Structure 1
Amino acid sequence: MDKLPVLSLNDDKHSFADAIGASFRKHGFALVRDHGLDADLVAKAWDKTREFFALPVEEKLRYDSSAGGGQRGYTAFGTEIAKDAKLHDLKEFWHVGRELASDSPLKDSMPANVWPDQPADFREIFEPLYAEFDRVGNIILSRIALHLGLPEDWFAPTVEDGNSILRLLHYPPVADAEPGAIRAGAHEDINLITLLLGAEEAGLQLLTREGNWIPANPPEGALVINVGDMLQRLTNHVLPSTTHRVINPASDRAAHSRYSMPYFLHLRSDFPIKTLDQCISEDNPNRYPEPMLADDYLHERLVEIGLIKA
């Protein structure tokens, strides 16, 4: 069976750039250990995630985010649906976004964060964890830049104050699930890259170029990192955004919840996604001759997955 390589962020930056680039070109995914996220902060975040989703539904719905397109706060079970899917995903989630300065020119493009009254210290845990994901994500982007033949810091201004989102995901037990419904239907991510914790629990699968579903199960504590549609567009599909899903567990795990924590790293809202010159060739002509603002692209995709109305 085709398997994803496990990479170490401790490797020489050029070696890592070559390795993650090769994995992305083949799979659209990579598994990365030694990423340096604050382990103590991550452990506390898992505790707070479980505590929040254990609250009564009525309490969680106090922070319902449907009016804001699900961009901040709580999105209830059975709300999100994969593009072109018939049944809603079997999940609920919470979104933490960026805290912008009061005078930021991007203030109008991003909703303010919502913070729950309980569990205690929720904000105190997730604000610094968001910053940690942002830090590690920028290191990964610097390696991707090297792979693409760009300056190491090329992505830094493109994601500065970007509309990145930390999602806390709860997939409840599925013993009584509607026939045909799964935890997350086949989809691609909207953003630049995704950094995912919690995929050690089986279920995440990606679709290979040959049309086979293979598991993406990293070593304990490692990250699953995948290309999003914005990076695919930027690179003219040199780095492909790969279809993936979360299937329901085998019967012995059907009565158990599954938790994960993806960080969707986004471009700045005002960044024009314009195909990189080095990703255009006679064999790979420019698929996207017209640039598109990142915020417009995000809005278009949120409509497709049912989080906002056209």
Structure 2
Amino acid sequence: MPSLITTSPQIPHYEPAPVTAEALDYADLAIIDVGGFKDSTLEERVELASHLRKAMSTQGFFYVVGHGYSKEQMERMFDIADVPFSQVSDEEKQKYVASPKQTGSYQGYKLREYWHIDGGVRDQVENYNINHHVTRRGHPEAVRPVLPEISQFARHSHLNVLDPILRLMALGLELPEDTLLNVHGWDKESETYVRFMKYYPRNTEDEEKSKGVWLKGHTDFGTVTILYSQPVAALQILTHDGSWKWIKHIDNAIVVNAGDAMEFLSGGIYPATVHRVIQPPSDQRQYTRLGLFYFAIADEEVKLAPLNASPLLQREGIKRRFEKDEEAPSMGEWRKARTSAYGQTALTKSNKQEGIEEEMINGVVVKHYN
């Protein structure tokens, strides 16, 4: 179990919002406990893998508990997550702005009003993104003293959360346990990163123009998204019946979903789930919403073709997004294309489904839901 660094610098405490009292239509998500994973038998892991596979095929999201961080450690990480926003001046932020459209990478700041949402409204979201190897690039002065803790958090997320998830996903495909782990090397060339994300309340006019949507429905481009649960209700998933359901906050739990790259690799067994962020319920609208993420992205050179050796895929068939395996992009190619385009390209309204906009990326139709 990780421990806090004993020389942790003093930083302001971020006070989270109270949990909403409103009765929301929550998604019924499975809970996967990885606490005893390392000491479990293969039979126990296979059984847990079947639960994970069912959760991914029915809901697309699931919770993880038993991840080894205490409540106090998580509170400390949320305090750290707020530092790039509350302790760095707007002038200094400009020195560390990412250039996602030009580079296909989010490392650094994504400042407010970069993404177009709807009705001429732009986002009110700030990101600060840090490669899991935290010294890959420079950081604002206020962030530097807490870099050792961020590095420790990235390593914990990779080895104690992502590792068992990838092993269970591989077992769910009836493949050797380390199959997916081997293409997510800690020391490999990868854009896997920590994201601190802060949503700010919007004015009434923008809420009306965008119909309360803060981030339109989308899929993530990577393999696995790890979201440390926080209390402001705003995240929703698109269910199989076409309705949107809220994700409920569970104290000190993690919310996990698959992205495009995992859908490609798994031949559709682990689909990338559509999710969006909307205006919080009325009793939380005056609060900022601070997010803490670990975005897992396969090694840059990995070809995003289905894992055809999977006995499960051989029996059930492969849902292909590319006609031929050789047409599949590498992880690096897909990451750069999706990152460059998101919120910056002109979208086309779908002729088949109302409320859906589309763009073509690397030969794949990418949908955005409003």
Q: Same fold (TM over 0.5)?
A: yes
AA aligned opposite 2:238:
L
Counterparts of 1:206-221 in structure 2 under 5 Å? 206-221=237-252
The answer to whether 1:270 aligns with 2:294 is no
| 1:118 corresponds to | 142
Shift in Å at residue 44 of structure 1?
A: 2.1
Choose 226-235 or 57-66, whichever is displaced more.
57-66
Instruction: State the SS of the aligned residue for 2:136.
Output: coil
Shift in Å at residue 117 of structure 1?
A: 0.3
Q: Alignment RMSD, CA only?
A: 2.7
Instruction: Give the TM-score normalised by the residue count of structure 2.
Output: 0.73
Choose 290-299 or 145-154, whichever is displaced more.
290-299
Shift in Å at residue 283 of structure 1?
A: 5.2
CA distance in 2, matches of 1:149, 1:18: 10
Q: Which of these residues, 208, 211, 234, is aligned with residue 203 of structure 1?
A: 234
CA distance in 2, matches of 1:258, 1:144: 30
CA distance in 1, matches of 2:179, 2:203: 47
| 8 Å Cα contact 1:159/1:266 also seen in 2 | yes
Shift in Å at residue 33 of structure 1?
A: 1.2
Q: Which of these residues, 93, 98, 101, is aligned with residue 65 of structure 1?
A: 98
Larger radius of gyration: 2
CA distance in 2, matches of 1:307, 1:125: 33
| 8 Å Cα contact 1:75/1:94 also seen in 2 | yes
AA aligned opposite 1:153:
D
CA distance in 2, matches of 1:131, 1:46: 16
Q: Which of these residues, 192, 197, 217, is aligned with residue 169 of structure 1?
A: 197
Shift in Å at residue 193 of structure 1?
A: 0.6
Q: Which of these residues, 101, 106, 111, is aligned with residue 76 of structure 1?
A: 111
| 2:152 corresponds to | 128
Instruction: State the SS of the aligned residue for 2:122.
Output: coil
Choose 241-250 or 69-78, whichever is displaced more.
69-78
Instruction: State the SS of the aligned residue for 2:332.
Output: helix
Counterparts of 1:37-76 in structure 2 under 5 Å? 37=69, 40-55=72-87, 56-66=89-99, 68-76=103-111
AA aligned opposite 1:125:
E
The answer to whether 1:297 aligns with 2:331 is no
The answer to whether 1:27 aligns with 2:59 is yes
| 1:18 corresponds to | 50
Instruction: State the SS of the aligned residue for 1:298.
Output: helix
CA distance in 1, matches of 2:96, 2:80: 16
| 2:254 corresponds to | 223
CA distance in 2, matches of 1:225, 1:198: 10
CA, structure 1 residues 43+205, in 2 after alignment: closer, same or farther (shift >3 Å)? same
Unaligned runs of at least 5 residues, structure 2: 1-24, 37-43, 346-360, 362-370
Instruction: State the SS of the aligned residue for 2:182.
Output: helix
Question: Alignment length, in residue pairs?
Answer: 299
Shift in Å at residue 253 of structure 1?
A: 1.6
AA aligned opposite 2:74:
V
| 1:155 corresponds to | 180
CA, structure 1 residues 149+248, in 2 after alignment: closer, same or farther (shift >3 Å)? same
| 8 Å Cα contact 2:35/2:68 also seen in 1 | no
Instruction: State the SS of the aligned residue for 2:236.
Output: strand
Cα deviation code 1:58-107 (max 9, x no counterpart): 2322311126445211110121357x99643331110010329xxxxxxx
| 1:145 corresponds to | 170
CA distance in 1, matches of 2:241, 2:143: 45
CA distance in 2, matches of 1:115, 1:305: 24
AA aligned opposite 1:183:
W
CA, structure 1 residues 285+97, in 2 after alignment: closer, same or farther (shift >3 Å)? closer
AA aligned opposite 1:171:
Y
Q: Which runs of 4+ in 1 moved over 6 A?
A: none
Unaligned runs of at least 5 residues, structure 1: 101-110
CA distance in 2, matches of 1:200, 1:33: 16
AA aligned opposite 2:107:
R
Cα deviation code 1:88-143 (max 9, x no counterpart): 3331110010329xxxxxxxxxx933321014623122111111111121121011
CA distance in 2, matches of 1:133, 1:202: 23
Instruction: State the SS of the aligned residue for 1:168.
Output: strand
Instruction: Give the TM-score normalised by the residue count of structure 1.
Output: 0.87
| 8 Å Cα contact 1:272/1:294 also seen in 2 | yes
| 8 Å Cα contact 2:82/2:196 also seen in 1 | no
Instruction: State the SS of the aligned residue for 1:121.
Output: helix
